Homo-oligomer: A and B are copies of this chain.
Amino acid sequence: MIKAMVHRIREVLIFSFVALFCKANGGTTADWWATRPPDPSASYCLSWRLAVEANNLRGWRTVPTQCLGYIETYMIGGQYFRDLRLIADQILSYANEIVPAGDGLDAWIFDVDDTCISNILYYRDKRYGCDPYDPVAFKAWATKAGCTAIPSVLRVYNKLIESGFKIILITGRDEETMGPATIDNLNDQGFVDYERLIMRTAAYKGQSAVKYKSEIRKQLVEEGYRIWGNVGDQWSDLQGEYLGNRTFKLPNPMYFVP
Task: Point out residues on A near B: beta carbons under 8 Å.
Answer: 10-11, 14-15, 18-19, 22, 29, 33, 36, 38-39, 43-44, 46-48, 50-51, 53-58, 78-79, 82-83, 85-87, 90, 246-249, 251
A50 partner, pick from B10, B38, B50, B55, beta carbons under 8 A: B50
A39 to chain B, nearest CB (A): 8
A47 partner, pick from B47, B82, B246, B247, beta carbons under 8 A: B82
A47 x B11 contact (CB < 8 A): no
27 contacts between A and B (CB under 8 A): A10-B22, A11-B19, A14-B15, A14-B18, A14-B19, A15-B15, A18-B18, A33-B36, A38-B78, A43-B78, A43-B79, A44-B86, A47-B79, A47-B82, A47-B86, A48-B86, A50-B50, A50-B83, A51-B83, A51-B87, A53-B53, A53-B54, A54-B249, A55-B249, A56-B87, A56-B90, A56-B249
Interface of A is mostly: helix
A14 partner, pick from B22, B44, B78, beta carbons under 8 A: B22
B57 x A54 contact (CB < 8 A): no
